[in-house]
Structure 1
Amino acid sequence: MASACLALSACSFHVAAGTGGHRVNDDVVASKAAFEKLVATTLAKSVDNGTTPDIDCGDDDVTLENGRVQHCALSVPGDSTRYDVRVEISDVQSYDDYSIDATVADEPE
């Protein structure tokens, strides 16, 4: 299963759209679950091997701010190996309209 991660290494992906979130004061915030799902489905589509990776972006919801980088961990079902995923947020219009660019590390954590 680690081959699914390795196939993603050193690749970047761009997708517009998100779902689930809210505003906190002036901040636009995506729910943790919605952000992780967006990262996972984006990476899964890029490899198209039928495997959707598990993504963990920490315990908190994600503040959506242009240029912000969120680090997440990627693993695949049946394999405990984890890879860092650098997710850059851009084109923020609202919690359900933004873009991400995700890059998977070459080496496991």
Structure 2
Amino acid sequence: MKHIGEFLKEQRLAKKLTLKQVQLKTNIPDSTLSRIEQGKYIEPSAKILKKLSTLYEIDVIYLYLFCGYLQKDDLKKYQQYFLGIDKLNLEEKNHIQQLINLFLKKKRGENNAI
């Protein structure tokens, strides 16, 4: 099985980008990118993976799974709650987040009352 660096290098080359171009677009030092691609930086941070996933147009969840930041069981546990969320616009997603925040605030209040 290839390491994350090999996969990311393939994605970069498929986009016909140099390390320097990736650095300019993501603010990730090209030396860091090179170490990741060579397998010398085995666990790139979630922040780096997020930036690269956006640039390379790949699902960040796939990268998190690849690196072990997420497990498939963890993902399955939460997927049922977010089915169809990709079809909502930003305003609708923000409304859902506000509801979640409200429920969490209520829960914290209940826990503090005990």
Please give the TM-score of this superposition, normalised by the length of structure 2. Answer: 0.22
Write 1 or 2 for the structure with the bigger share of strand: 1
Please give the TM-score of this superposition, normalised by the length of structure 1. Answer: 0.23
Which protein has the larger Cα radius of gyration, Structure 1 or Structure 2? 2
